[in-house]
Amino acid sequence: MRKRKKEHYLFILPSFITLIFIVIFPTIFLWYVSFTNYDLSMGWENKSWIGLRNYKYLFLEDKDFWYSLRISLFFSGFTVVTEFGLGLLIALLFNRRITGKRLWMSFLIIPMVITPSIVSLIWKLMLNTEYGVLNYLLSLLSIGKINWLGYENALWSLILVDIWEWTPFMALILYAGLQALPQEPYEAALVDGASSIQLFRFITLPLMRPIILISILLRAIDSLKMFDIVYGLTQGGPGNATELMSLHIYRLGFRHTNWIGRASANAVILLMIVTLLTTVLLRIMKRESGEEY
Under rule CB under 8 A, which residues in 15-74 are in contact with another protein?
Answer: 15-16, 18-19, 22-23, 26-27, 29-30, 33, 44
Closest residue by Cα to residue 213 from 267, 270, 288, 266: 288
42, 52, 98, 188: which one binds another protein (CB under 8 A)? 98
- Contacts (CB under 8 A) with another protein, residues 180-219: 180, 211, 214-215, 218
- Contacts (CB under 8 A) with another protein, residues 145-164: 164
| Residue 286 within binding range of another protein, rule CB under 8 A | yes
Nearer to another protein, 207 or 281 (CB): 281
Contacts with 251 (C-beta within 8 Å, 6 or more apart), sequence order? 64, 236, 243, 257
d(CA 116, CA 233): 10
Q: How many residues bind another protein (CB under 8 A)?
A: 98
Binding segment for another protein (CB under 8 A), chosen from 55-63, 73-81, 120-128, 188-196, is 120-128
Binding segment for another protein (CB under 8 A), chosen from 59-67, 76-84, 97-105, 189-197, is 97-105
Nearer to another protein, 154 or 188 (CB): 154
Sign of the dihedral defined by the CA atoms of residues 73, 156, 106, 196, in that order: positive
| Residue 255 within binding range of another protein, rule CB under 8 A | no
User: Going along 135-271, which residue ranges are E strands?
Assistant: none
Nearer to another protein, 155 or 177 (CB): 177
Question: What is the CB-side half-sphere exposure of residue 230 using CA atoms within 13 A?
Answer: 28
Classify residue 141 by its DSSP letter.
T
| Residue 131 within binding range of another protein, rule CB under 8 A | yes
50, 181, 199, 285: which one binds another protein (CB under 8 A)? 285
Binding segment for another protein (CB under 8 A), chosen from 53-61, 187-195, 197-205, 260-268, is 260-268
Identify the H or E element spanning 227. none
The distance of closest approach from Cβ of residue 234 to another protein in the complex, given in angstroms and rounded to an integer, is 10
Nearer to another protein, 136 or 188 (CB): 136
117, 195, 196, 198: which one binds another protein (CB under 8 A)? 117
d(CA 235, CA 240): 9
Nearer to another protein, 14 or 85 (CB): 14
Identify the H or E element spanning 219. helix 205-224
Give 32-92 as a 3 state SS string: HHHCECCCCCCCHHHCCECCCHHHHHHHHHCHHHHHHHHHHHHHHHHHHHHHHHHHHHHHH
Nearer to another protein, 104 or 156 (CB): 104
Binding segment for another protein (CB under 8 A), chosen from 60-68, 151-159, 181-189, 230-238, is 230-238
35, 75, 94, 148: which one binds another protein (CB under 8 A)? 94
Closest residue by Cα to residue 29 from 267, 276, 244: 267
Closest residue by Cα to residue 250 from 234, 264, 233: 264
